Amino acid sequence: MKLTHALCLCLALALALPYSHQDHGGDHDNLEHHHHHDDAHIEHHDHHELDRCQGLEMDAVAVNEDGIPLFFKGDHLFKGFDGKSELSNESFAEMDDHHHLAHVDAAFHMHCQEHPDHDHMFFFLDHKVFVYHHHKLEVGYPKEISEVFPGIPNHLDAAVECPKPECDEHSVLFFKDHDIYDYNVKTKAVEKKVFQGMPNCTSALRYMGHHYCFHGHNFCKFDPKTGQMPGKYPKEARDYFMRCSNFSENSDHVERERCSHVHLDAITSDHGGNMYAFRDHHFLRRDEGNHTLTADRTEHAFKEIHSDVDAVFSFNDHLHMIKDDKLYVFQDDEPHNQMDGYPKSVKEELGIEGPIDAAFVCEDHHIAHIIKGNHIYDVELNASPRVAVNNHTIGLFKKIDAAKCDSSGVKVFVGSHFYHFNSTMEFVAARALPEQHRVSMDLFSCEH
Ligand SMILES: *[C@@H]1O[C@H](CO)[C@@H](O)[C@H](O)[C@H]1NC(C)=O
Ligand SMILES: *[C@@H]1O[C@H](CO)[C@@H](O)[C@H](O)[C@H]1NC(C)=O
Ligand SMILES: *[C@@H]1O[C@H](CO)[C@@H](O)[C@H](O)[C@H]1NC(C)=O
Ligand SMILES: *[C@@H]1O[C@H](CO)[C@@H](O)[C@H](O)[C@H]1NC(C)=O
Ligand SMILES: *[C@@H]1O[C@H](CO)[C@@H](O)[C@H](O)[C@H]1NC(C)=O
Ligand SMILES: *[C@@H]1O[C@H](CO)[C@@H](O)[C@H](O)[C@H]1NC(C)=O
């Protein structure tokens, strides 16, 4: 592997927390010191922001207390699957007081109800371990790794949590070179293993109940008990864990769009029951009565719209697509011709300022439910002019990526997950999070 102290990471259970979106804003101009970057492809931008789409080998990965993966690289981190890099010290200030320790080698999130460090994040830098709870360093840390995790070496490559029953006992797997140290959280016993055939992990993540080993810009899914890698691996991390417009050349678009953990931009079902799900430059389509999903570039089917649709809803045999402050209206049959006179401004057409986050119309109805931040509005589509009324606060989520409504009710999409409600009213009034479903596996039948 290229980095001497590569890292690891670990991750948490499918946390039953709403996945609030990261702030995509922050510019960090004052980065003074640089890490040695061995990776050939890193591009240094003027203000030293890192671009994860350049094929970075991450130092460590772990989910935070809200279930959002944090990817560490040098003195930066990436929150979630898209957005810019930020300085790690803005989130974890004390790690900065130890500059000689360089970067995070490995990280994991402890999710073990009966453990005193439940819901804490562990970071490994050289020979030290830092323990954080909601960005606050626990008293007495950093400590020596050997003190907190006896039998675990310094200069780790990666770490990942493994709860029961995925492992026989609640464990943390530590990776260093080709060796694996299976650490029993309860008894502190360490069992050294080698997983034949598995690459040396430079970071590792448990996400949505699966274990992933990252190496370079590739990853493998593995069985934490045996090290077996079911399926075709390695795969390209940028295809499944990052929102990047340029994919590897041999990327299978259908497979990538089905299995990606990156949030959807917009989703709808048209009057015939055909589903469209948009993400970045592509969309997935599934026809009523047919389980086969197809993927295409958005600009091929919906001229003028290249990427990054904010919201889509179906009404009167037309797909209404919203991007920034514009509304585009396309015939829902192929070819998707655009209606004359469009795009028009969202404000003019729906009575609300764009951009918006999500929109849906329930079957046979003519009210568009428009979601913007944590507010939802009703727009009577048969009225003229249209106005946004019934401003309600959504209690459960701060930000929603996409939503759709069909005969079974409302599905609300947040990050890699979606939630089902029997009706719009139930969704708006809900105070407790319903069962969490996985977009990739439960909606698009991705096997991994
Ligand atoms: C974080 O690190 C940068 C560069 O090393 C430094 O300029 C900045 O002051 C630090 N910020 C905090 C909050 O410590
Ligand atoms: C993995 O680590 C071992 C040392 O334990 C080393 O011999 C081997 O070359 C490494 N494999 C790769 C693919 O880097
Ligand atoms: C994608 O790749 C093409 C060709 O290599 C390049 O021109 C374009 O700028 C890249 N786009 C992004 C978003 O990196
Ligand atoms: C289902 O959809 C796929 C992809 O569009 C198509 O090739 C296939 O013929 C369809 N099957 C049926 C039974 O319509
Ligand atoms: C909706 O109500 C909130 C306060 O509950 C307010 O801040 C917001 O501006 C309202 N939206 C519109 C479009 O009036
Ligand atoms: C939603 O509908 C299902 C099936 O009709 C029912 O079992 C469930 O109790 C309903 N949920 C709520 C919160 O009303």
Each residue's pLDDT tens digit, 230-239 = 888 999 999 8
Quick check: CB of 90 below 6 Å from ligand 1? yes
Phi first, then psi, for residue 191 (nearest 5°) are -115, 125
Helix, strand, coil fractions of the chain, as percent rounded to 5 = 10, 35, 55
pLDDT in tens, 400-419: 999 999 889 999 999 999 99
- Domain boundaries along the sequence of the chain: 3-240, 254-443
Q: What are 333's two structure tokens?
A: 């049959």
Q: What pLDDT score does 262 carry?
A: 94
pLDDT in tens, 283-313: 999 999 999 999 999 999 998 898 999 999 9
Atom 1 (ligand 6) nearest CA? 422
420, amino acid identity: H
Three state DSSP letters for 58-92: CCEEEECCCCCEEEEECCEEEECCCCCEEEHHHCC
Q: Which one has a higher pLDDT value, 363 or 416?
A: 416
Confidence of residue 31 (pLDDT cuts 50, 70, 90): very low
Quick check: CB of 391 below 6 Å from ligand 5? yes
Ligand 2, pocket-test mutation among 175, 178, 179, 195, most atoms within 8 A of CB: 178
Q: What pLDDT score does 364 carry?
A: 67
Asked if residue 210 has pLDDT above 70, the reply is: yes
Confidence of residue 18 (pLDDT cuts 50, 70, 90): very low
Q: What CATH code is assigned to 3-240?
A: 2.110.10.10
| 21 closest CA partner among 440, 281, 401 | 401
Q: What are 272's two structure tokens?
A: 């015939």
Ligand 2, pocket-test mutation among 1, 38, 200, most atoms within 8 A of CB: 200
Confidence of residue 54 (pLDDT cuts 50, 70, 90): confident
- Looking at the DSSP bridge assignments, the partners of residue 44 are none
Tell me if 33 sits within 8 A of 229, measured CB to CB.
Answer: no
Atom 5 (ligand 6) nearest CA? 422
Distant-in-sequence, close-in-space partners of 418: CB < 8 Å, separation ≥ 6: 411, 412, 437, 438, 439, 442, 443
| 359 closest CA partner among 311, 308, 419 | 311
DSSP state of 379: E
Task: Compute the average pLDDT of residues 93-105.
Answer: 79
Asked if residue 27 has pLDDT above 70, the reply is: no
Q: What pLDDT score does 23 carry?
A: 34
Using left for φ > 0, alpha for ψ between -120 and 50, and beta otherwise, residue 253 falls in alpha
Least confident of 52-56, 94-98, 131-135, 431-435: 94-98
- Calculate ∠ Cα 255-261-262, nearest 5°: 105
Task: Compute the average pLDDT of residues 234-245.
Answer: 89
Architecture category of domain 254-443 in CATH: 4 Propeller (2.110)
228, amino acid identity: Q
241 alpha carbon, distance to own chain's centre? 7
Ligand 4, pocket-test mutation among 290, 294, 334, 445, most atoms within 8 A of CB: 290
pTM check: above 0.85: no
| 175 closest CA partner among 132, 227, 134 | 227
Residue 230 exposed, middle or buried by CB count within 10 Å (0-12, 13-18, 19+):
exposed
Q: Do domains 3-240 and 254-443 have the same CATH topology?
A: yes
Q: Which of 91-95, 317-321, 330-334 has the highest mean pLDDT?
A: 317-321
Q: What pLDDT score does 97 carry?
A: 76
182 alpha carbon, distance to own chain's centre? 27
Task: Compute the average pLDDT of residues 35-48.
Answer: 42
Q: Which one has a higher pLDDT value, 99 or 128?
A: 128
Quick check: CB of 246 below 6 Å from ligand 3? yes
